Structure 1
Amino acid sequence: MRIKREKVSNLVLEEIKKMIKSGEFPPNSKLPSETELAKMFGVSRSPIREALSVLAASGLVESTQGGGSWVREVSLAEMLEPVQFEMVEVEQVQDLLEMRTIIESEAAFLAAKRHKPKDIEDLEEALEAFRKVSEDQFKIGYEEDYAFHRIIVRAAYNPFLTQTMDHLSELHLKAMMFSLEKNLGWEAKRQEVFMEHVHIFNAIKNRDSQAARDAVIEHLTNARIKLGDKRVSKL
């Protein structure tokens, strides 16, 4: 099966989606390797890799380090019809993380000063949920991650910060999925990300505003480095 060269990655993406929907690649099945897919479509591995990244970011497949890509158990008929998947440019995710660093570090600074007992209870529950999902090597955990960060913004008690987070929620979730799926199968990396959340939580709980701000900056800076953002370096 060969496809035209124009917009190769988009065409590959559409073909793989059709094959998933038709059942040729059924739920919980392992996709062919990048090399095998490249031969199947008559293209290089680069557009295959781009298409798989989009499928992973959209939640249709999960990729594991050294274990290939697997079709997720989802309602594919509902997901594939109405959704228009766009190519995810890693530079855009880097820019979003930069914006999140600016907003969420200051939100954490304020949350450390302004939080109420219920905020700490909610934040601790969110942290525990993220811990549990982090121990499952086949779950991304982006929803649990988002919930944790949203509580921090809420605890800053600035309605404009909360509204900004909510307005960008879909974009944040997509970017978190794109970023966190890079850690699938990497127990050490997943534990490292969890511990970064622990440091943020402890700083806010202890009302240490500067430590809270620094912990968020370190956490999101590490995420940017993982995605190849050359504008930052490890703190």
Structure 2
Amino acid sequence: MMVVRFEEAAVEVQDAESGPQTILHPVSLTLAEQRIAVIGANGSGKSTLLRLINGLLLPSSGSVSVDGADTVRSGSEVRGRVGFVFTDPLSQLVMPTGRNDVELSLRRSVRNARERRVAAEKVLDRFGLLQLADRSIYDLSGGERQLMALAAVLATDPAVLVADEPSTLLDLRNTARLRAILAALPQQVIFTTHDLEFAADAERVLVVDEGSVVFDGPAAEGIAAYRQLAARAGQWAE
């Protein structure tokens, strides 16, 4: 199992009017569990936390590493180990069809075009998407697009899968399908979600509030802590 480490990692941005703004306060974590959920309100900093894991965002101070590889000094190595799934699959699917996207993911590891096509079909079949392989991504449903984006990321067989609110655009049926797929993966999976039933699938839950990790522990306790936090803030937790 890969180990993701945050060592006093913080993110600060410069605002033209108000000066420096802290998006994520210094956090130290060792993430080694198979399934980890990150929950919190919109704008709390949970997506920032996830983007630090594969170097999409670099810490302003402190460090983040994946199995010892630092995201700043060894960015390409980290990105080879960590796959990232975005909330909106249309920001990730860049080719006309799902087959094209999966083949694009395999371009470096499978040089021969014919072998790459066969490998892509195996990936698509694994996720029940082969019958949709040649359909335009714009003709797919939101759920089908998200599963296609997931297949394209997993085609490279990353050791860690990071998913930023992957069920947000999905209906109940496709959310259940996504949860079943993620539960069966051998990879370490770290994900954000507003769906507390989905969060309950995790072994460990982090609750993020106003740029700080305010709870770190078992899923049931983390969800209860988030409900209390939301109630105090006058919000509704799903």
| TM-score in terms of structure 2 length | 0.28
User: Whose strand fraction is larger, Structure 1's or Structure 2's?
Assistant: 2
Larger Rg: 1
User: Whose helix fraction is larger, Structure 1's or Structure 2's?
Assistant: 1
| TM-score in terms of structure 1 length | 0.28
Higher relative contact order (CA 8 A, sep 6+): 2
